[in-house]
Every structure is written in C-alpha cells, then in structure tokens.
Structure 1
Amino acid sequence: MTPPPRSARHPVRIVHLGLGAFHRAHQAWYTQRANERGGQGGNGGQGDGWGIAAFTGRSPEAARVLATQDAVYTLIERGPASDTATIVDALSTVADGGDTERWRAAVADPAVAVVTLTVTEAGYRPSAEALDADRASLVAGEGASTAPGRLVDGLRARRAAGVAGVAVVSCDNLPGNGEVARDAVLGLAGQVDPGLADWIASEVSFVSSMVDRITPATTDADRAAAAALTGYDDAAPVVTEPFSEWVLSGAFPAGRPDWEAVGAQFVDDIEPYERRKLWLLNAGHSLLAYRGLLRGHQTIAEAMADDDIAADLERLWAEARTELPFDDETLDAATAALRDRFGNARIEHTLAQIASDGSQKLGPRILDPLRSRLAAGRAPGEAQATALAAWALHLLGPDVRDPGAAALAETLRATPDDDAALAAGVLTALAPDLARESAVTDLIQNRIAQLRTGAITEPPLPTGAH
C-alpha cells in the first residue's frame, strides 16, 4: 500500500512547536477544516489556505516518520461504537525542532502570522540550569533547547529580518497560558537583549487558549485500523475522540484562519472556560490516574468502571462546581459529557500517560479549586485531598515520570510509612501556603491511610502498573 495522499499544499502561514499527537488532532485538524471551507478572507487571511510548518519539541522522531509520507496523516475519530477516518494535509512541512536555521527561517518568514505551541505544562517552566544554558547559547548567537529559548531565538530572527506582527498561541493546560508564555519569553529575552524584549513586547501578541480533546498514544492496532479504513499505509495516524473544544482570547495582528467557522470560540475573558476545563476534565483525569494506578487499572475507562473511583470523581466535581461561574444547566451538561467521554472504552487513554508530570499539573487542577473553597469559607474537598494523597503514594512507586518531583520522591521514600510526613511533604513541595493548614494536611494524611488500606485488599498490580 501507499501512504495517504496530499490533496493540497497550502502556503506556510503558521509555525507550530511541539509536533505531537494532540496538535495533529486539534489545531491542525481545525486548520484543515477551515481550509476546506475556504473562508480565510475575514481575518486577514487569503484564499489559498493556511499551511503549517510543524517542528518537534524534544525528540525528532515524529518529524522523521511524518516526513517519509509528506507530512500527511490519518485522523481516526473513535466513537463508542465505530471509527471514522479523515486524511489531514494541513501540515505543509515537518522538521526537527533542533534544526536552528530552519526554525529561525520559518518564524522570520513574512507570510507567517501565527506561532502555536503544544509543549506540555512543564515546557513553560524549564529548569534554571536549562534556561541558563539557553541564555548563554543565545547571547553567543547560537540556538536554544527550551520552548521559551526557541521562541526568543525565532522572534530575534524575525526582528532582524524587519518583519513585524505575529501572534503566539499557547495550547497547553495552563491557566492564562498566553500570559505564562509571554512572561517566560520576555524574561529570557530581557537577559539576552533588552532591545529584543522591548520589540517583542510591542510587536508580538500572546494569545491564551483553552483546548480539549482526548488523544491517546497511537498503537500498532491503530495503524492497522487506519489502513483498513482508508486503504493507505500510514505510519503516523492519530486516534482521538469525536468531541473537541477550542476557546481563544487575544489579538492576531497579522490575521488567522477562520477557526470559528469550524467550531472554535473567541472570547474576551477566557479564564472561566479555563477553570471549567481544568477543574472538571483535567482534575478528573489526575484523580482517575493516581487512584486507578493504585488499584491496578491501566486506562481511564477501566478506572471509570471502578465504582469507588467513580464515586470519588463525582465528589471531586461537586467540590469544584461551587467554585465555577456557570449555572447548573451548563455544569450538568459538562459533567454528563465527561462521563460519556471517560467511559468510552474504545479510547484507550492510559493512566500512566496522564500521571506524568504531576508536579506541574496538580497545582492548577487540584490545588487552585481547593484554595478557592478555603477562601470562600468552605471545607477542603475530600476528593481533592484524595487526589493529592494518591499522588503521594504514586511517588513511592518505581514508575514515576515526573522530573520536577524527583527531589520530593526521594524525600518521601526516606519515610514511606509515615503518612503525616507524606502529606506534609506533598503540600510543602506543591503549596507551601497550605502546608500549615491543619484541615488540609490532616485530610490528606487521613486519605493516604485509607488508600493504603484499600490497596492492600486489591489484587497485585500488573507488570508496569503502579
């Protein structure tokens, strides 16, 4: 068989950093559909479409595989009963993000109006050592390895080329992700070249966006399914759920695709939408991941089928509802949709994947709504404490994928049987402002003890699940 065919190659007007499955299931898919509608004129665009030059974030592997099939891939929407397939050719080119010259040329291209990012929450907060290395490299006129460093490098090339006007659109699960990106870029740019920082502040907009579409890692079975559905041999298909949502807030000085024509929303205040998603979907994912792994489950659907965990999820949602500025009808619809999405057993979203980088994720997902409850005079949430307790026990296991929690995990493993020390350690690391709140620490300690008891009665964990 042959690879999926390209029907069009649109001129590159978008540069993307973080060429992973989620980008291809979300921003690239929205751009594909906007191109198909042909409605690019209303937002400063042009009639021949918007192509994407996509760069990898860490490993170059995704670009290597996609390049062998001209950056065209199959998107499989996996519903509860059946699959549908779409050939996507919105990516005009793909490249290794470490290719400094190609990255600079792409961002400096006068035709480029938008730079999008999917670099995970951790990507916005590199280690001090990594930022120091990037600063020294950029001062020397060389490239960068972190996401903020690459943006500074690309924008420096754009300024040197005399090109103005670009929007940087963050598409990761962080509150105010556009502001977070802006602060990271300006902070580093100011250390490299204060004049560059001033130029970025005046010429570059940083757009916040709320993104939502469950996209599990692709398997060999998915590659076989893509071939069966399309008749093409695709080494890099993407599997995702039918549901999608994209809410954006910010300016686009050089135009953009008509994403709203295919379902995206543009709003003045994105913060309520971010909170709704983070505190319902993402917080639910974290709870299911850490609770589920302790019980020996491997996927979201398996954890949802566990009555004890599902009850904890309902409690978590009830704890968050009081803190969200939406009416009951809106929240009932949101949680009903999440029950259906989480229960879709044909989407094998692994708990181990979701459990990674909890040190970056739990703050906005669990601790922020907990703080909101306390500020309103309400008790800390039992399910919120359960998520933190399950994470503490997760850090004692051998399969911890969280560089940001390495020091904490080492500390906790020094006293693995001391529930009070585990509770205090988690709060001291993640929320020092709450570490002296006895109502919070006592509740987490209590939930750690209960989870230990529950884990003892469960069957042994399967290999690779912790």
Structure 2
Amino acid sequence: MATKLCARNLGSISAVAAVPTYDRALLSPGILHFGVGNFHRAHQALYLDRLFNTGVGHDWAIIGASVMSSDERLRQSLKEQDFLSTVVEQSATESNARVTGAMVDFLMPGNSADIIRSLADPAIRIVSLTITEGGYFINPGSGVFDPRHPVLISDSADPENPKTVFGLMIAGLKERRSAGIPPFSILSCDNIPHNGRVTRDAVVGLARLSDPGLADWIQDKVAFPNSMVDRISPATSTRERELLARDFGIEDAAPVFCEHYSQWVLEDRFTSGRPALETVGVQFVPDVTPYETMKIRMLNGGHATIAYAAGLLGIQYAHEAMEHALLRPFLAKVEHDEIIPIVPPLPTTDLNAYFTLIEERFSNPKIADTVRRLCYDGSNRQSKFITPSINDRLKVGADIQGLALVSALWSRYCFGTLENGQEIEPNDPEWSRLNAVAHLARQDPLAWLAMDDIYGEVGRVPLFQERFSAALLALYAEGVESVLAGYLEGAS
C-alpha cells in the first residue's frame, strides 16, 4: 500500500525518495509565485529546494498564487499534503524521485485581497510567474503589449479590485510605494523571447492606463530580469499517479514527472536581493538573449516542427514521433538547413551538439510527452517559436521551405481532422477562429497568412506566401507523409 505524501510521513518516504534535509518550520517566504503548475514545481521550486538543502537561503520560500478558480483543486491537493510535491526525474534508463518542500503556502485562487496583502509584505522580494505564453496580452503580429483586452480594460477602470496577475502586482507595488517599502523584482519564467521586457511592458503598460505616476515609478524602480528556462515536464494524469505509487510507493495527488535535463539562465538584475541560486546550477549572465534565442528557436521550434505532422498522423507521444521514419529526419533537416544557421553563436556552445541533445530529449520514452500538448495553443506559440526564424531568414534572402511547411502543417491541423478523417478535439484558445480560417485556407491559402495578429508583415512576404501555399495545397492533395517525403528528397 502506498504511503500518503505529507510532512509526518517523510521519514518513511525517505527510504524510496530524497526528502528535504532542512527544517521546513524554519522557512520564511521571500517569493510569491503565480502559476503553480508542473513546470514551476519541476524547475524553480526544485532549484530552491536544492538551495535550502545546502543550509542557506531559508528566507526565500515560495507562496503560491493564482487568478484562476480552476487552480483551487490543485491548491487543495497540495494543502492536504503540506505543500510538498514529488518530482520524478527521468532519463531513458532510470527514474529518481525527490520530495520538494520549498513551497510553504498557496493562497486561495482569485482572492485578490489576500494576494495583494502578500505582495505588499516587505518579506516578499521576488514575484515570479509561469502563466503560459498566452497570458501576457501580446499582439502576436506586432509582438508588443496590447491593452485592449476586456479584462485589462476592467483592471484599468477598477485598479483596486484587479482580476489579472499584472493588475495584482500593480496593486501590491502601489501599497509598497505608499508605505515606503522597496519594490519587489518581477521574474518571468515563461518561454517568451525577452520575457523580462515583455513582463515590464505589460505591468507598466497596464499601470499607465490608470496611474501614469505609478507607471513611471515602476519603470524606474522595479527590476524585470530576463530568463531562459528549460525542462520538459508533461501534464500529470492518472498514469503518473499510478506509476509513482507502483514504483516508489508514494501516494501524491499531484506529482510531477519530468526529464532529467534542466537549465536556467538568468540576468543578474534584482531590486531587493535574490537567493544564491548560482550554487545549485543556475547560470547568471549579463544578457540572456543568445541563450533564449537558441532554446526557443531550436527546442520549442523543434517541438512545433514535429507536433502537427505527428498529430495529423494520430501519433500519441513525442518519443513515438521521433521513431517515425519521416518525422525525425524532417526535424533534423528543418533544424540544420533553416533554424541553426540563423541562431546567433554562443561561446562554449556547439549548436549541432545542442540539437543532438534535443533529439535525445525528444526521444526519451519515459517522459510520455503527448503530441496533443505540443500542438496546444499554436495561436500563441507559432508567433514566438516559428515565425521569428522565418522572418530572420527572409531578411537575409534565405529560403524557408521547411519552416513554411511547418506553418502549413499547423493550418492543416486546425482544419480539425486527422489524416484518417477522425475529428480533432478543439486544442487552442482560438480554436473556433482558427478552424474557420483553416477551412477558408484549404481553397485560398493566403487567408491563413492574412491573420495579422499572428503573422504580421511576415504573412505578406511573397516568398513565404508562395512556399506556404504550395505546402498547404500539397498536404490536402497528397497527404502528410507524401509531402514530408518530397521535402526530404529535396523536391521544391
């Protein structure tokens, strides 16, 4: 019988999993984090747990927060196990379990008053967030903050009762300024190019709608370091809970399974101090840009490259996609021919070796990363992971046949049927619109590229229009495997 995860059972659990070696009763919060999902608990929370195990940084524990009522179930599950999480790190050959204890509380989702009270607490010196790529109110076409969203208009009209993460942070900063308390730093841990700048634009932009003076103060006083984060951590299902109970004898309502690999690169710019994360493997650099460009273009762009073809072929998992006779070569050709050549070089980093590591990570059968997860939210991800590479190649007059095919595969996926005719369940916040435009694009491919909020000026470049149109029409006429085979054979 599995042992329920909770503080009183850590002694017995220590026989099968690593457990905190520090006294959690001596922890005090220094970070408030929005978005307590699998990635956060497998990444930032795990780095802090490692730090606490060295005997230092115990005033940097995490308080969780959320604006989504749907997170209440997770909060309750974590509360019932004393905010402990089991993280199972998996390589292709072994799995290791670790119980992390860096979180000490999780505020009621949507309870603005409690969240603002915590944000105003001088003990909170960093506010971090993993709210997904779509949570930043960015216009994909222009790449800048768009204040026209109804919830932002609501926050600007009633800033004392905010409903967004950014509105809550602004309210907390306003109270700190009034009380003479130094501001906290704001640290995005989402997969967005220049995520610190993007977050600053959202916070300052929203504040400016209701209080320009406060907006100026935030822009002048608050640090928004850019960061690059990397670890594959799929969604938890019954499968993962059963594996944990079977293989480790631990009953955890919300375990996290992730790959063994992990990377975190941070700019060392913080308003009110930071934990000594460099002692547990975090890289601090003057400029994250080259690292994030490499990761977003090659890894996230790589996921997007295989996702929609695999989805259309009915493949369930990423490692199964990598076993397909056409998909792994397709990924390699797009990466080597079109992505890697326009990734800025990094000192001490061999981009070809980095791609080899990506292939190994995608092929890890223990991760069981679903293709459906990789296909999700293309309306936000394509403009960040694929379109920038297209844009950079077009600027230097280089061809984009492979990347245009990636975009065409996304359009074909949004048509809503697999190659065998089976219906695809909605898999994007913008699914209704994407599905309607995809049906138009079957006859008129340029209708897809006319979505300015996703493609912007790139969608009007003749070479991209030509390559995309040819690829999309071929996908409907010949099928996915035939088109991939033609691309790999070098057919134009």
TM-score, normalising length from structure 2?
0.86
Task: Indicate which of 86, 89, 109 corresponds to 2:98.
Answer: 86
Q: Who is 1:31 aligned against?
A: 48
Superposition map of 1:71-110 within 5 A:
71-110=83-122
- Please, which of 415, 429, 435 is the counterpart of residue 409 of structure 1? 435
2:326–2:481 contact (8 Å) kept in structure 1: no
Preserved contact between residue 4 and residue 233 of structure 1 (Cα < 8 Å): no
Q: Residue 308 of structure 1: which of 323, 326, 349 is its match?
A: 326
1:137 & 1:350 partners in 2: Cα distance? 40
Match for 1:401: what amino acid?
N
After TM superposition, where is structure 1 displaced by more than 4 Å over at least 4 residues in a row? 455-458
Query: 1-side partners of 2:83 and 2:377: how far apart?
Result: 29
1:405 Cα deviation after fit: 5.6
Q: TM-score, normalised by structure 1?
A: 0.90
CA distance in 1, matches of 2:355, 2:132: 24
Which of residues 132, 135, 155 is equivalent to 1:134?
155
Question: For residue 462 of structure 1, what is the aligned residue in structure 2?
Answer: none
Confirm whether residue 53 of structure 1 aligns to residue 69 of structure 2.
no
1:323 aligns with 2:342: yes
Q: Name which of 229, 241, 247 aligns with 2:259.
A: 241
- 2:441 and 2:272 mapped to 1: Cα distance? 55
Structure 1 counterpart SS, 2:326: helix
Match of 1:441 in 2: 465
Could you tell me which amino acid in structure 1 is paired with residue 97 of structure 2? A
Partner of 1:383: 402
Unaligned runs of 5+ in 1: 41-47, 459-466
In structure 1, give the amino acid aligned to 2:35: G
Residue in 1 that maps onto 2:230: 212
Mapped partners of 1:417, 1:14: distance in 2: 49
Percent pairwise identity: 33
Give the 3-state SS of the residue equivalent to 2:158 in structure 1: helix
* Separation in 1, partners of 2:367, 2:267: 30
In the TM superposition, residue 390 of structure 1 has moved relative to its aligned partner by 0.8
Q: Which residue of 2 aligns with 1:362?
A: 382
What is the Cα deviation at residue 307 of structure 1?
A: 2.0
Deviation at 1:424, TM superposition (A): 3.5
- Secondary structure, counterpart of 2:4 in structure 1: coil
Q: Is the 8 A contact 1:20 1:56 kept in 2?
A: no
The match for 2:32 is: 15
User: Pairwise mapping of residues 79-228 of structure 1 onto structure 2 (< 5 A)?
Assistant: 79-125=91-137, 128-138=149-159, 141-142=160-161, 144-228=162-246
More displaced stretch, 295-304 vs 322-331: 322-331
Flag the 1:308–1:290 CA change in 2: closer, same or farther, 3 A: same
**Does the 8 A contact of 1:64 with 1:95 survive in 2?**
no
Return the offset for 1:17: 0.4
Equivalent pair of 2:176/2:183 in contact (CA under 8 Å): no
Q: Does structure 2 retain, via aligned residues, the 8 Å contact 1:389–1:423?
A: no
Q: Using the alignment, how far apart are the partners of 1:56 and 1:446 within structure 2?
A: 44
Tell me which of 396, 417, 420 is aligned to 2:445. 420
Q: Provide Cα deviations, 1:269-288, integer angstroms capped at 9, x if missing partner.
A: 11111110011000011122
Find the aligned partners of 1:37 and 1:135 in 2 and give their Cα distance.
44
Amino acid in the other structure paired with 1:441: Q
Q: Is the 8 Å Cα contact of residues 408 and 429 (structure 1) preserved in structure 2? A: no
CA shift, 1:33, in A, is: 0.6
Give me the whole-angstrom Cα distance separating, in 2, the residues matched to 1:176 and 1:326.
17
Inter-partner Cα distance in structure 2 for 1:274 and 1:88: 27
In structure 2, list runs of 5 or more residues that go unmatched. Answer: 11-22, 139-147, 417-423, 484-492
Shift of 1:329: 6.1
CA distance in 1, matches of 2:94, 2:232: 16
